[in-house]
Structure 1
Amino acid sequence: MNSLQEVYLDNNPFPSWEIPETVKEATSLKNLSLINCNVTGNAFSGPIPDLSGLQSLRLFNVRENQLTGVVPPSFTGLKSLTVVNLTNNYFQGASPLFDKSLAWDYLLWDFAKLVSLETINLSNNKLSGSIPKELATLPKLRMLDVSNNDFYGGVPKFREGVNVVTTGNLNIDKDGPVSPSSGGGSDSGSGNESSKKSSSVKIIVPVVGGVVGALCLVGLGVCLYAKKRRRPAKVQSPNTNMVIHPHHSGDSDAIKLTVAASSLNNGGGGGTESSYSHSGSANSDIHVVESGNLVISIQVLRSVTNNFSEENILGRGGFGVVYKGELHDGTKIAVKRMESSVVSDKGLAEFKSEITVLTKMRHRHLVALLGYCLDGNERLLVYEYMPQGTLSQHLFHWKEEERKPLDWTRRLAIALDVARGVEYLHTLAHQSFIHRDLKPSNILLGDDMRAKVSDFGLVRLAPEGKYSIETRVAGTFGYLAPEYAVTGRVTTKVDIFSLGVILMELITGRKALDETQPEDSVHLVTWFRRVAASKEKDENAFKNAIDPNIKLDEETLASVEKVWELAGHCCAREPYQRPDMSHIVNVLSSLTVQWKPTEVDPDDLYGIDYDLPLPQAVKKWQASEGLSQTGDDSGSSSSVYGSKDNTQTSIPTRPSGFADSFTSVDGR
């Protein structure tokens, strides 16, 4: 082992094996390359071996494996290293124990000990903190690229000839970050590419997350890439590429929640130089977003949806296709793969800002956003799975799908659930939100048939102090409020109108736009208004408009009539004539949970006839109890107006001087 100088075992997917401990005895080893060899890193039970004795080691490349544990800090002491590549493994755990005062988020000042470094490329990541001044002491450094990160503070003074790139760091030259999630979203692709090709000292290291401190990967140089992994004949297991750490509000950098995964552009070429290249849609940075968001890798979503197969499609919408998936622990999810034409012009920062908004929406009648994925131009949202599908399926397609039609009680409960969910958006969330695309296909049902509102791709934060914003018209014809369709001006009343249309659909069983109807009845709202106008003259027209699948009795008919009236108010032509969502909730809840008195037990009446006026009821009660109003000389303790010593509870006598009845003058 002492004379061993080079080991190349690239692209040999052996059965699971470990890097032997004896490798530390190869003190003359110069090149160790184990690319894509299914190395399992001590069976996932500990760190890779200590390499501190390999002082001649120049190349250490173990990318595309399944190494786990803590990256050994011994790398910082290997002065001969020129290339280290740890990409696409599952390293985790705390950073090496360096002085906290010298710590840098994800990186440490000990890189200044690597005196051979010529190029450090840290672009397009979520690194934060200040740029360590110790890096300015590197004698051979020619390029430092920290573009598109979240660094703040001043830039250290480097010697002449060192190219320092800091573009995309919004807080450079500021005392601290403006917000935890600030940072650029642009890609510095071509510029980074050229700098890599001219560099002789490189390292690529992915970050999977920090447990208590930031995860440190120490080497000759660091480029934190998180790209989707593409290995030939190798499928990523969902339970091995997630490392989740909860966000702690007290320290925005110390504890974060991240699920990261990455890939290189090629499937495992042999050369060290070419292995660093990346391009186009293959890129996917690790995105750490505050507020507890979950970042999920593209390979996990491909795996659980069978590579987005047709068999897994739950539905299609204006913003993309929704696929069903199931995680390794049995959790079922719905993955919305947004159309590239819809999101291609949407900046990364804007998309992440919307995600931050969406994850703050927590309500029992809103479909929960579980996570998201950014991979090149891909934008994927992961929601909780609702097994009973959409309200549209139950209302309009129940025969084709061999379901039972919804009875009126269930329809009323669904309407109330939707109203409560939207009420939360309008008034009960931390700020006011407008959905803008309420319709039956965006109302999902769980196993208990309780409804949740979904599809918040159109949710926009309403500006404080305003109740409307001007925006691009987006929604579905048939559910659009007239003022919104004409002017593009949106208020919460837009959602009220849409809910009114849904109430009409629940009552009639007809679609908002139904081409199967006669031409003058295609538009549900117009037809509904016409029937409502003739309702008093023709009661049968009203009854005939009700969905025949609703079994009508006297109580149900009265309930339907109230909802009919409410739906008409919701779809009033003028926004100010429509009720608020809280009023709709009150009306629907009064119909859903109606109070009814229980049967009265005669023993609970104590002999009092409550159907009589109070004076007569008292006299009758007194007679039945054998009580006297005259205060006779019998001295009976049962006398209603007995002596002052009588402690029985009874109606007291009227003091002398009081009138027989009260007038307004007495109301003082």
Structure 2
Amino acid sequence: MLDRRQLHTQRFPILFILVLCSLVAFPEAAKRLPPPYEATALLGFQSKADLRNQLGFSPNASFKFCDWQGVTCYQQKVVRLILEDLDLGGVFAPDTLSHLDQLRVLSLQNNSLTGPIPDLSKLINLKTLFLDHNFFTGSFPPSILSLHRIRTLDLSYNNLTGPLPTSLASLDPLYYLRLDWNQFNGTIPPLNQSSLKTFSISGNNLTGAIPVTPTLLRFGFSSFSWNPGLCGEIIHKECHPRPHFFGPTAAMVAPPPAVALGQSAEMHGVELAQPSSKKHKRAALIIGFSTGIFLLIGSLLCFVVAVRKQKDNKKQSTTVIDSDDGVATAQVAAAIQMEQENELEEKIKRVQGMQVAKSGNLLFCAGEAQLYTLDQLMRASAELLGRGTVGTTYKAVLDNRLIVTVKRLDAAKLAGTTKETFEQHMESVGGLRHPNLVPLRAYFQAKEERLLIYDYQPNGSLFSLIHGSKSTRAKPLHWTSCLKIAEDVAQGLSYIHQAWRLVHGNLKSSNVLLGPDFEACISDYCLAALAVTSVPDEDPDSIACKPPETRNSNHQATSKGDVYAFGVLLLELLTGKPPSQHPYLAPDEMMHWLRSSREDDGGDDERLGMLLEVAMACSLSSPEQRPTMWQVLKMLQEIKEAVLMEDGDQLDPPQSGNMS
């Protein structure tokens, strides 16, 4: 005899089938059923946030909510909600999306949402939250502090105010934190998460000393810039400056105040070049002159007084003459003092003028600390790293042990670029800051000499990682490493295209460098716009990276051209073959070629096939048919998310030292 539990398990599928049949046979009954609670949450969000009717969520299709725009489901649960660049113009209402308790990724970036950020504490599985580039107001949402799985948090470019909570430091998994360009005030929490790789709080009203933690020490000046009240060791700004010896009258020799961004960067660079010895010498020189002059005047006055006392018995006329002589002597002494001080001031000005002329054309990008001068760059030991399309690259070791990369641009290839055009373009490029871009720190030009100064990347290029050295042939990279590197490059390119409307124009594996954690960082970006387009490129691999529409014409570089080059780069990652050896094959033949190139057991064919589809979509001959880089990035992230679902939330490539 069956027990009650067995009867229940037998009845359930029968009841379920009966319900389904009734819904099919009587569609009106389906309309009367309450919608799934996840559909209700999405519809509730739409009713308050989508005042311009961009989303198109329909109550009549509530049982098909997994097919709605931006929604990704797993087992009928919403796990990703990506609603970006949709011009949503309402508010993020409470008790709407917070009911999606299986949500892993929520992105509402680049909309026009207003009001406070609601309570999100019910989203206990949330790992990624992008709310940047909106108009959110209010304080830092405290509910975020209870999301203990959160790894990526971006609230940048909003109107949030108030202090940053100290408990931010307790979000241990945090990998990516951007709070820049809000109106936060108060001090910086002592963040010390070893996992934190991307961080920015620039463009706020934060004050006080920056906590010196191992984590915060990893980030440069640009992560803290545009907060005038911040100080401390990390940004090289003293928190309690000492008073000047001479008070307000010694402005000429006192250390200069911090130069505002719009002021001359040249004098600031000069003062930083030799901060102590020249100032001390000037001060000592002026003190010596002043003391000598004062002693001279004092001696002369004492002498005059003594003479007057000795000649009290002489005639009044003689006394008057002597008195006049004393006054005249004092006037002469004062005139000598003024002349000598003026001469000293002129000498100081001449020295300053010489220094400015020497290093005046080395321009640091906005927000960058001026850590060296042109003179130091010229004295640095140099090592040739390689010759590229628009110039030659060197590793430079400065006398202060700082290592930078210097790119010397080819004058012939930039022959048509004026000084003004070059400076204007470099100002734009110098403003690009992203974890997957090698930052441009400074640039120099004088006549036809042009230099670009970047951070030095110690782990070499992606080309070397893929192809090995001349003596050793590298194996194709593990597919997880291919996915990670491809996503890094796609992140950087999407940022260039979307945030700044610029174009790389010369993407290839030798222009992708590997950072300290083997993250992919794009270099040589946005330089193609300055180059003379008629200069032919003789390197077959470089030619193969160019899209068909630009190979035989003076066609300007475009974002769709970058997408094509990305497709070629992804094929190079997957196969280990240089671009000039990529064949033109049908899709099924491409998969066969991919397998034969990798020479592995074929266990990852399905996942490699998904990446191959992305590469082929990017490499279509028609620019109009290629996706945008933003769409490419989303494809890669969806592949990663699908694999994470299959593998139980584990997608760890091999250790960075052995990525193959």
TM-score normalised by the chain length of structure 1: 0.43
- Ranked by relative contact order (alpha carbons within 8 Å, sequence separation 6 or more), the top structure is 1
Q: Whose helix proportion is higher, 1 or 2?
A: 2
